[in-house]
Amino acid sequence: MIGRAILAVAVAAVVAGAAPAAAGIMPSVPGLVVDLPTRSGVTVRYAAFAPDQAPAAIAILFSGADGVINIPDTVKPDWPFGNFLVRIRENLRRRGFYVVVVDAPSDHKYGLGQYRLSEGHAEDIAAVIADVRRRAPGVPVWLIGTSMGSISAANGAARLHGVGAPDGLVLTSTVSRTDPSPRNAGLHLDIFDVDLSAVQVPTLVTYHRNDQCYSVGTGDGPRILARLEHAPRKEIMIFDGGLPPKSGPCDPFAAHGYFGIDDKVADAIADWILAAKH
């Protein structure tokens, strides 16, 4: 049965007026680095961060831009990668999440591009889900993407069903418009290229009200929810506040990456996931 969508524009009240969070990354525990065979001859590297207690949920994170993280062989607590989701890994871990940061597969080490929409990419994601469920059994798995990474997460949720499917989906600062910049010439993909009607799990969509990235439109949120016609629970959260940008408008140290309100956004996402019923 299709659940009733809740448009939580007022979520800004949760963060508006609050003191900005520290701009630096909260140090985490060392990551477990796994090179996982997926498709024939292909591996996907991920870094996993286990909570101090029995996990309440699993969060599999997909970064934006070209999707290439270059996870090192040893992930130290102060691993400095700046992507928003990688920055909040410790926030989620402390809320009881088994956190997994996914790199690009070995056959797309120079960038994911249109591969984000493919069946092969969903196959990679399914392999990661299965491996992580083996390490942290019995808890729900959520795919969380940011910016272009939202396309990967949504593609996985749309294509995977049954025992190998995720239990939920979070889309943050989702790319919903064609990027006109020269760096992405010839690359035309956005969230509406995914068959969102095939998503059958709870889905949260978040934005920053002041996101100036030309590929993102906070006004596109209702269109996304409308396409998620089979998601049993769905909601939009819009945030305010933060620090002055220290990067371009489509980069992580700006409103696009919730710069300065990392902890508030992480807590809101965690609260929403942990309140979901499976």
pLDDT tens-digit profile of 169-220?
999 999 998 755 555 545 579 999 999 999 999 999 999 999 999 999 889 9
Please tell me the pTM assigned to this model: 0.90
Instruction: Please enumerate in sequence order all residues whose Cβ is within 8 A of that of 52, keeping only pairs 6 or more positions apart, or say none.
Output: 94
Q: What pLDDT was estimated at residue 181?
A: 59
Residue 80 has what pLDDT?
A: 76
Q: Which domains does the chain have, with CATH numbers?
A: 6-275 (3.40.50.1820)
152 three-class SS:
helix
Q: In which element (H, E) is residue 156 found?
A: helix 149-159
Q: Do the beta carbons of residue 146 and residue 62 sit within 8 Å? A: yes
Question: Are the CB atoms for 116 and 31 separated by under 8 Å?
Answer: no
Q: What does the pLDDT read at residue 81? A: 72
* Alpha-carbon gap, residue 230 to 116, rounded angstroms: 22
What is the structure's pLDDT at 102?
A: 98
Tell me how far apart the alpha carbons of residues 277 and 149 are, in angstroms, rounded to a whole number.
25
Spans of the chain, pLDDT less than 70: 1-25, 179-187, 277-278
Element (H, E) at 141: strand 141-146
